[in-house]
Each structure stands twice: as C-alpha cells, then as structure tokens.
Amino acid sequence: MSGKQDGGPRIALLVARFNSMITGHLERAARERLVQEGIGEDRIESFHVPGAWDLPQAAQWIVSEARHDALIAIGCVIRGETSHFDYVAGHASDGLGRVALDSGTPVVFGVLTTDNAEQALARALPSGANRGAEIAESALALLALREVVRERDET
C-alpha cells in the first residue's frame, strides 16, 4: 500500500457529531484498528461535521484536496417516527457513493442506519459488535485492492 510522500497511507476520518455517543465510539475503534494495522497516528486525520446529511459535501471537499488516500465516513441515523430517516440516510449513502465514484478515492460508508438507539449502541459500544474496526478494515482492503489493480496496469 503506497501512501503520499513519506510512506503509508493517509486516512481521513469524517465523523458526524449528531448521535456523538455512537459516532465517537465508532471513530475511536476505527482509529485503533488503523493503528493496529500499522498506520501511524500522524497519518490519520479526523474531521467533524454536524450530522450525517453533511458527510457527502465535506467528503467532497476533503477528497478534492488529494491529501488522503482513503476517507472513512462515520455517522449514525436512527429511525424515528417520521420519514426524516429516509431522507438523511439516503442522501448520505447516495452522496458518499457519488464522491467515491467521481473521485476514485476509496470512500467507506460507516454510517449506521438503525431502527432504534439500542441497535445503534449494540453496533458501537466497545463491549458489543463495534463496527468501527470493520469500516477501518474495509478502507485498508480497498487501498490494497487499488494497489493490485495499479500494479497490473503497470505490467
């Protein structure tokens, strides 16, 4: 996996503050897994936005600077009694997908979309099935695959 300039990939963690009790746990677990996998703390940069709706626009800004090899978008949208969930989750998903396709930069969708707070907590607390580590692994897997594709193109 090649990185920008001084070795090792640079990873952006883009984190929504809304439902921060959830997103904070996901961010910590993602960062911890990246470090466990040999990514230096100085190669991981966190950015924060108000909510999941804001993730696509901020992701676009970050990848347009071309300072990071991958971006991990972290958020949590919990279904309520209105259709607000559908708008926010759909916008985050579609927008982040578009940023990934348009930029060619690996953009990992780490936005929990759950029916209730209990489900979100079960996927975020360190004592549960914290998905933060999984999304970090996805980013590293995409970076590794990109290297394989690039190497094949060079032969």
Residues annotated as catalytic are 84
Cα 101 from Cα 95, distance rounded (Å)? 10
Cα 69 from Cα 93, distance rounded (Å)? 20
Q: How many other C-beta atoms are found inside a 10 Å radius of the C-beta of residue 137?
A: 16
Q: CA angle, corner 24, sides to 21 and 28, nearest 5?
A: 145
Q: How many other C-beta atoms are found inside a 10 Å radius of the C-beta of residue 150?
A: 10
